[in-house]
Structure 1
Amino acid sequence: MSIEHNKQQAVALLSAIESGIDIRSYFTDDARWRVVEGCPLSGDYAIADLVSAMGRVFGLYKYPPRFRIEHVTAEENRVAIYCRSSSELIDGSPVDNEYHFLMLFKGGLIDEVREFLNTARVIEIMPKLERLMASAQHRGE
């Protein structure tokens, strides 16, 4: 696939996340999503596990994150995106962060995502997410 195709797919993935739709079709069957070390979300995820976790976390948001893409660079099978996100938790707390996503493509699909983000921001918001999640579980949601 072409570099331009890969760029379009990478940007489309972020749009799909914003829309709250299933993102699995953007990935190879054995794709991985890796989140930089240093925060509670850090790890190496199979896409099915990531989608499940995103569903639980985004269920605590008033709306999925909105990405403001500032830079997209592509070369060979790699697309790099620098962006900022914003959203709001159901309790009204703002949720924002900044990211660098490095996406590696195979056969026109994303085979790996390496996510770098402001881990301090995640650490700051996690207690609120945990309280909201516990409250939702208590109510049986």
Structure 2
Amino acid sequence: MGKIEEQNKEVVTNFMKTFSTGNIDAFMEYMSDKATWWVAGTIEGISGEKDMKEFRAMNSGIAEGTKTGAITLTPLAITAEGNRVAVETESYAELNNGRVYNNIYHFLFVVENGKIEKVKEYLDTEHTRKVFLD
């Protein structure tokens, strides 16, 4: 694996560590201003493509519903090729409503010049819907 792939993996793993703290300003620093974040499925308010303003708003709302103000993301396996970083990930959060959010994801990150430009998030949408919306 080349130097650029190692650097891109580091950007993504640092993003996930920072995301897990709930510090939105800090994790947004990893994102390009023109970045997009796409979530699979048809979950109202969550699925579809978001620009960074919409992504920030969505995360602010989700964080308010958790006991720690964050969803912890734990990378399980990472593969990088060129500007693409694929990550199998597990999440965990205890919600204020007593529910536990523990999902499995596959993320595809596109990193350019040290910033995340694009993310595709594949997850168990039924679990997400049940925990956050039902």
Q: Same fold (TM over 0.5)?
A: yes
- Superimposed CA distance per residue, residues 16-50 of structure 1 (whole angstroms, 9 cap, x where no aligned partner): 11111122211112110011123232111011211
- Structure with more of its chain in strand, by fraction: 1
Cα deviation for residue 112 of structure 1 reads 0.1
Cα deviation for residue 52 of structure 1 reads 1.5
Cα deviation for residue 91 of structure 1 reads 2.4
Confirm or deny that 1:35 pairs with 2:77.
no
TM-score, normalised on structure 1? 0.85
Paired amino acid for 1:12: N
Conserved 8 A contact 1:31-1:46: yes
Conserved 8 A contact 1:101-1:114: yes
- Structure with more of its chain in helix, by fraction: 1
1:87 is aligned to 93
TM-score, normalised on structure 2? 0.89
Name the count of aligned residue pairs.
Answer: 128
The structure that has the greater radius of gyration is: 1
Conserved 8 A contact 2:32-2:116: yes
- Superimposed CA distance per residue, residues 76-123 of structure 1 (whole angstroms, 9 cap, x where no aligned partner): 000011011111111221111111110001112110000001011012
SS across alignment from 1:20: coil
**Deviation beyond 2 Å, 4+ runs, structure 1:** 37-40
CA-based RMSD of the aligned residues comes to 1.4
| Structure 2 unaligned spans of 5+ | none
SS across alignment from 1:2: helix
Q: How does 1:1-141 map to 2 (within 5 A)?
A: 2-21=4-23, 22=25, 23-40=27-44, 41-63=46-68, 64-128=70-134
Conserved 8 A contact 1:24-1:48: no
Cα deviation for residue 60 of structure 1 reads 0.7
